[in-house]
């Protein structure tokens, strides 16, 4: 049998998690994705499918993820990133790097017991944008949104995560 390394054991140990880290433990695991992208910057719009994996790493303090998706008009798309709780700000720091060559940086807060919203802080955007996760019984919904001129957020991408 393969013995986990010291680092893998540290990353898997839920006893070392803060309350804020424990709140995002739900994400850990393998997921299948099915959703929809609106016509626009990502192409003609339509259904999307993919897979996502979340795992603890970097001393068990970063929840890292990898997503591999098929987007209509774009084909294969990858995004990798991570989330960690920042005790200084009281928010979650998050980043994403994607196969389009973009680095995106976010700050996240729980807006209620089941909704975690990440606001884009880098790069600067013409209008605010955010990514919102909603926890369901044993699933997640993720929506990427941008603000209209009147400040209302409108979804341009939505996907459901189901346990693989």
Residue 14: its pLDDT value, please?
59
Residue 155: its pLDDT value, please?
96
Partnered with residue 161 across adjacent β-strands are 33, 140
Is residue 33 within 8 Å of 161, Cβ to Cβ?
Answer: yes
Residue 3: its pLDDT value, please?
60
Q: Is the peptide bond before 105 cis (omega within 30 degrees of 0)?
A: no
Residue listed under structure tokens 């929809």 = 36
Per-residue pLDDT of the chain (164 residues; tens, 9 = 90+): 656 555 555 555 656 789 999 999 999 999 999 999 999 877 889 999 999 999 999 888 999 999 999 999 889 999 999 999 999 999 999 999 999 999 999 999 999 999 999 999 999 888 899 999 999 998 999 999 999 999 999 999 999 999 99
Residue listed under structure tokens 């700050």 = 107
Is residue 63 within 8 Å of 56, Cβ to Cβ?
Answer: yes
Q: Flag whether the pTM goes above 0.85.
A: yes
Per-residue HEC secondary structure of the chain comes to: CCCCCHHHHHHHCHHHCCHHHHHCHHHCEEEEEEEEECCECCECCEEEEEEEEEEEECCCCEEEEEEEEEECCCEEEEEEEEEEEECCCCEEEEEEEECCCCEEEEEEEEEECCEEEEEEEECCCCCCEEEEEEECCCEEEEEEEEECCCCCEEEEEEEEEEEC
Residue 127: its pLDDT value, please?
87
Tokens (6 digits) for 60: 């068990």
């Amino acid at each position: 049998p393969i013995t986990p390394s010291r680092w893998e054991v540290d990353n898997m140990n839920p006893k070392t998690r803060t309350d804020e880290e424990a709140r995002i433990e739900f994400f850990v695991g393998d997921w299948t994705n099915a959703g929809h992208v609106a016509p626009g910057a990502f192409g003609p719009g339509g259904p999307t499918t993919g897979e996502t994996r979340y795992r603890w790493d970097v001393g068990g303090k970063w929840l890292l993820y990898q997503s591999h998706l098929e987007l209509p008009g774009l084909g294969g798309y990858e995004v990798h990133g991570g989330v960690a709780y920042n005790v200084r700000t009281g928010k979650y720091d998050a980043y994403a790097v994607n196969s389009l060559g973009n680095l995106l940086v976010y700050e996240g807060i729980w807006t209620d017991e089941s909704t975690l919203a990440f606001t884009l802080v880098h790069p600067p955007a013409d209008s605010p944008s955010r990514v919102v996760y909603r926890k369901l019984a044993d699933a997640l919904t993720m929506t990427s949104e941008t603000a209209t001129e009147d400040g209302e957020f409108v979804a341009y991408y939505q996907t459901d995560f189901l346990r693989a």
